[in-house]
Amino acid sequence: MPTADAFYLATIIVYGAVDAMACLALNVEFGFAGLSNFGFIIFQSIGAYVAAVLSMPNWASSNGGFQQYILGWHLAWPLPWIGAAIAGGLLALPFVFLVGKRLRGDFAAVGLLVSAVLLNVLVKNYMPLFNGDAGISIVPAPLQSLWNPQSLGYQFAYGGLAVVLTIATYFLLKRVTESPFGRSLRAMRDNDIVADSLGKNIRGQRTSMMVLGGAIAGLSGAVLVGFINLWAPGAWGYAETIVLFAAIIVGGAGNHKGAVLGAILVPLGFEEVTRFIPPLSNPTLVPALEWVAIGLLIVLFLWFRPNGILPERRRILSGLPSGAAAPVLTGSDTTDADVLVKLGNIEQIDFRQLLRLGEPVNDHRVILSTHNLTKSFSGVTVVQDVSIEVHQGRLTGLIGPNGAGKSTTLAMLAGTLPSSGGTITYDGRDITSMPSNLRARAGLVRTFQLASEFKKLTVLENLVSAIPNQSGDSLRGALRGKRFWGAEDRANIERAMEMLEGFGLTQYADAYAGSLSGGQRRLVEIMRALLAEPKVLLLDEPMAGVHPNLAHKIGEQLVTMCQAGMTVLMVEHELSIMDAFCDPVIVLAEGKVLAQGTMAELRLKEEVVEAYLVG
Amino acid sequence: MSSFGFGLVSAAVLAIAAVGFTMQFAVTNVLNLAYGSIMINSAFVTYYVNTHAHVTPWVATIGGVATGAIVSWALNRFVFTPFQRRNLPPITIVMVALGMDLIGTFGLQAIVGGSYVSFQQSQGSEYHILGMFLSGLQLTIMGLAVVVLVAIHWLLRYTRLGKAMRATSANPNLARNSGVKTGLVISMTWLISGALSGLAGTVFAMNTGVFEATSAQLYIVMLLAAMFLGGPGQPYGAMLGAVTIGVATEISAAYINPEYKEVIAFLVLIGMLMFRPYGLFGSEKTA
């Protein structure tokens, strides 16, 4: 091989590794955690800068001080690279406010995009910190005093090191994503409000992924700057982030191999292919067409192949023979009647054991109560001074006409919506201002009126993700590896399989939850809420769309669970369910409590009949 | 005082642009990040009509406005709407919009090249008003903005179409079930807001004097800041936001550093996202 070609090959290896590391990091943020970090490039940029200035001598004393920068500690390799990773991770912290709040995903993304744009403007114009638009040159190559960086051997060794770091990144991130914590990340990606209601700490999960992704991005920047020996802010424009997003969309979001493939095809491929185009009379034409092509790639892939070349793969956890397991459903080829046929043994489930219920307590003390609970939206009061009491071990019903404020009340009890006034007391504690994920951890778990399954988690994953106190369900736990959490996870999977069997859904264990029929999805949601080990279960129309016979079987089981010490508050339109199972029943109308009692008593009350039972 | 005057001109340009931008978001829930590319494409159409047909830029603006209207309508009809029908998360639409922005901006650059151009136009005689020196061109732009804003106010308040737009914005399903032809309303919204983007692009180019294909690429920062200050999807909020941001950026440019003039817009945007993502006057539900 001619020497020039060999040098070129080494360069390509380094560039490819840097792009692959960046895409892997962005993919765990976007493809797994659902964070659209449109400011990603600034994390790579800060890493490169920090690596540069940590390895350079003090600016005033070197080369006559022709360029300005901070630090200048002249540290030996690999300390500057470690510093770069730390800087990338720390940079995530100021942005936590954007991703931690329940800000719409696109609004947060816009905030990050604009941050990247403006930081670039600032850097280009502020001399002392970053030497302005000119950037920094003569950045030392690692170990350059020991080995000539211009030698072919050095260049290939550098490329080899970059590839090793990429492989290490790949396995590190895989360890994180293929763990219970990774499951929680994907649950958050699919529906953050529901994940929150099951006790996941959304802000914590997002922060840890921003920090982890930022650290890897910072390291990738350090690898690049040590090789090309210069740092110019012009090369870190916000549009570079869009190139990386294009790479992930093309390669396959939520798939590590897809991220690497995308990195090779898009940033590396575009950069290198255009080198071979002869210079034209119009110097802007080729770069302009490159950008047009990036734009086209994004739009066309999102339309024709939204999951990329290597789509996220489905996790088969059930251990069932692959032939029998996981039929890929098309939605219409199953009915609730099918489920009903298989609903053989729901009576045989020992829910007390499965749900870790304690000894039954039958003193029926008040476990959950509200005092003058109120909610208004921009001046319109939808719930007004509602004071209710829910007794332990009872199945309390909540009925009322449309717009009575039932779902809003439930949402305030669970913390999904903040209340505008009044107090909520749970288990003797005032929880009015407690975040919803902490309420769920304390045993106050809700379901949703609208379909809320995690669509791109399998049915089994949906269930397992809800089980509390998993030792692999934190970044630290995930990093300790499968040996640390594997046995526990297998036990959890078995528990969930037992539940599935009881509800007659075993054969769908490995199917995506999003592919089930409406009634089946309600069942998944009920099972998931039960596995969250609630003390008080708040159900919002759980039987809507469920076959009536099946609904009655579930109702009977709920009664059994209440006898075993659980408490249920259930919003339901189906009065036959209320008649059969709920006592007492609270009637809401126009945001106020209208009446309370058994269904038989309520049917005798004129105002209730007028407000609801007839209409 | 003169920076305040320049601020008013910037504010006028921004107000025209931001009202169109926020109307698109209000009625179709699309954060159209390709807005800046439509502005600059329209400005170039105006420029070519101006220089090739030898008419004044104001006459040529008709070409720019028509371009903005038609391109925006087509963008929504053939790109955003099909994507929205698939029930994708809003972030996908944002990515599609970013992709379309690259296609629009750099497609234009591939055609017209990278050099700067300017309209064949005089600045008009200078006027001295309330301590501010303003050229005839600047006064015309400000007058135009006032006319546009009054017209939009009239449209939203007093016409059937405007009421239908507000109904569709508040609740598209309810509007459709109440007999509003939401498809037609959406088309009209994109035609009108697109016309505004075309006009905004032209006056933006007139105000900066010289421009090239990527001149409006960062304008989206100003648009977003104006929209979020007033509240996403609130046309009146966007008007007020635009005036505030426009004046504030020019004044900060005069007293701090012209290179940092977008920084104030950035700070406003981040502050709003942090504390009141539904705007100063918006309600919690729109966020």
Q: Tens digits of per-residue pLDDT, A400-427?
A: 888 888 999 999 999 999 999 999 999 9
Cross-chain residue pair B283–A125, CB shorter than 8 Å: no
Q: What is the pLDDT of residue A293?
A: 93
Contacts of residue B209, defined as CB under 8 A and 6 or more positions apart, other chains included, come to: B118
Interface contact flag, A110 B109, Cβ < 8 Å: no
Q: What is the pTM of this model?
A: 0.91
Nearest to B103 among A97, A108, A296 (CB): A296
Contact B273 A98 (CB under 8 A): yes
pLDDT of residue A322: 56
pLDDT tens by residue, B235-257: 888 888 888 888 888 887 777 77
pLDDT at A64: 62
Q: pLDDT at residue B281 above 60?
A: yes
Give residue A47's pLDDT band: very low, low, confident or very high (50, 70, 90). Answer: very high
Q: Does residue B115 lie in a domain region?
A: yes
pLDDT band, residue A142 (cuts 50/70/90): confident
- The partner residue sitting opposite A245, judged by closest CB among B95, B221, B269, is B95
Residue with more model confidence, B39 or A282: B39
> Chain A contacts of B174, Cβ < 8 Å?
none
> Given a cut of 70, is residue A127 above it in pLDDT?
no
Q: A-B interface: how many C-beta pairs under 8 angstroms? A: 135
Q: Which two tokens mark A303?
A: 């339309």
In this prediction, what percent of chain A has a pLDDT beyond 70? 92
Per-residue pLDDT at A336 exceeds 90:
no
For the ranges A137-146, A223-232, B107-116, which has the lowest average pLDDT? Answer: A137-146
pLDDT at A133: 74
| CB of A171 less than 8 A from some CB of B | no
**Is some CB atom of chain A closer than 8 A to the CB atom of B102?**
yes
Instruction: Examine residue A78 and say whether the peptide bond preceding it is cis (omega within 30 degrees of 0).
Output: yes
What value does the mean pLDDT take over residues A132-140?
78
Q: Are A214 and B70 in contact (CB under 8 A)?
A: no
Per-residue pLDDT tens over the stretch A518-544: 888 888 999 999 999 999 999 999 888
What's the burial of A249, exposed, middle or buried (CB within 10 Å: 0-12/13-18/19+)? buried
Residue B193 falls within a domain, yes or no?
Answer: yes
Domains of chain A: 3-235 (no CATH), 336-613 (3.40.50.300)
CB neighbours of residue B150 within 10 Å: 10
Asked if B153 and B240 touch (Cβ cutoff 8 Å), the reply is: no
Asked if residue B60 belongs to a domain, the reply is yes
| Candidate from A101, A242, A284 with C-beta closest to B114 | A284
Please compute the mean of the pLDDT values over residues A103-109 and round it to a whole number.
83
- A303 contact B CB<8A: yes
Mean pLDDT over the full length of chain A: 87
- A129 at the B interface (CB within 8 A)? no
What confidence category does residue A328 fall into, taking pLDDT thresholds of 50, 70 and 90? very low
* pLDDT (0 to 100) of residue B46: 96
Q: Where in the sequence is the domain holding B185, given as residue range(s)?
A: 2-216
| Strands (DSSP E) found in B88-242 | 117-118, 126-129, 132-135, 210-211
Nearest residue on chain A to B222, judged by CA atoms?
A114
Residue A333's pLDDT is 42
Tell me: pLDDT of A357 over 90: no
Buried b / exposed e over A103-119, threshold 16 CB at 10 Å, is bbbbbbbbbbbbbbbbb
* pLDDT at A323 exceeding the cut of 50: no
Lowest mean pLDDT: which of A36-45, A475-484, A516-525?
A516-525
| Predicted pLDDT at B74 | 97
pLDDT: which is higher, A560 or B36: B36
A247 touches chain B (CB under 8 A): no
B250 has a chain A CB within 8 A of its CB? no
- The predicted complex's ipTM stands at 0.91
Q: What is the pLDDT of residues B176-188, one digit of tens each?
A: 888 888 899 999 9
Query: Please, which pLDDT band fits residue A65 given cuts at 50, 70 and 90?
Result: low
Beta strand A536-540 with A395-399: parallel, antiparallel or unpaired? unpaired
Chain B neighbors of A244, CB-CB under 8 A: none
Mean pLDDT of A164-169: 97
The candidate with the shortest Cα–Cα distance to A533, out of A429, A414, A440, A460, is: A440
Q: Does B51 map to a domain?
A: yes
Residue B224 lies in a domain: no
Residue A180, Cβ neighbours under 10 Å: how many?
23
Residue in A36, A97, A292 nearest the CB of B103: A292
Backbone angle region of B179, left / alpha / beta, with phi > 0 → left and psi within -120 to 50 → alpha: left
In chain B, residues 123-182 whose CB comes closer than 8 Å to chain A? none
pLDDT at B98 exceeding the cut of 90: yes
DSSP A29: I
Q: Which chain B residues have a beta carbon less than 8 Å from that of A98?
A: 270, 273-274
Query: Rounded CA gap, A46 and A55, in Å?
Result: 14
Q: Do B105 and A291 touch (CB under 8 A)?
A: yes
The pLDDT value given to residue A331 = 42
What is the pLDDT confidence band of residue A236, given thresholds at 50, 70 and 90?
A: confident
Lowest-pLDDT choice from A345-359, A579-593, B59-73, B268-282: A345-359
DSSP state string for A234-277: GGG-THHHHHHHHHHHHH-TT-HHHHHHHHIIIIIHHHHHGGGS
Q: Report the domain count for chain B.
A: 1
Predicted local confidence at residue A337, as pLDDT: 53
Q: B104 to chain A, minimum CA–CA distance in Å?
A: 8
Look at residue A100 and tell me whether its pLDDT is greater than 80.
no
Q: Can you give the pLDDT at residue A338?
A: 53
Between A570 and B278, residue with greater pLDDT: A570
Task: Specify the pLDDT at position B286.
Answer: 39
